[in-house]
Structure 1
């Protein structure tokens, strides 16, 4: 059984998707971009600003189901410009705590957005390092 999750505080887009879907112990967060949920404007012209906003949007959705970024076990990131990978990695490492989630990062054309991130969170417990 799965449950769709819609969060009024998260950015709204006129597209056919749920902000997240909870299936058993896992929560799948749809791809988020660096758009401020209040102004609906892109957070800034840099990969750093958009990455931070993107992860803030993910945090807003996770909070709705009682979770944090520490529950994230997998992240998929799509970055528009390969030259932004180093700055993206620095910002990602500043926001996520070790041990980091498993991750895939791929270059893809996102139009006006520099980054899009989707994640999978495991609800029963936070990430730990063995």
Structure 2
């Protein structure tokens, strides 16, 4: 059974997808980026700012499913410039408490010049 989760801020999407989908005991969160959720416009900033804004969107989706960021088990991160890795990594790590999720980080061509996109898998139990 699958259940679509709408972003609590009624996020403007840039494509045909759900922000998050529950399948069994897992929530799969689509790639999120540094957007103003009301307008759908990119919020440009430093890699640290874009990383923390993106993670805050993921947190809202998780909370809408009744869980917390402590339930994230895996993130996949796309960076526009892999040379930003150390700065992004510090911001990313500062977002979490306790055990960090498993993670893959790669350099990618990203939509509209954003510096980071993150998706996540969350265990809901």
Counterpart of 1:106?
Answer: 106
Gaps of 5+ in 1: 125-130
CA distance in 1, matches of 2:101, 2:38: 28
Q: How many residues align?
A: 124
Gaps of 5+ in 2: none
TM-score (norm 1): 0.89
Q: Say if 2:123 is the partner of 1:122.
A: yes
- Judged with a 3 Å threshold, the aligned counterparts in structure 2 of structure 1 residues 21 and 82 are, in CA distance, closer, same or farther, namely same
User: SS where residue 67 of structure 1 aligns?
Assistant: coil
CA distance in 1, matches of 2:85, 2:66: 31
- The superposition leaves residues 82-109 of structure 1 with CA deviations (integer Å, 9 ceiling, x where unpaired) of 1110011000010012210000000001
TM-score (norm 2): 0.92
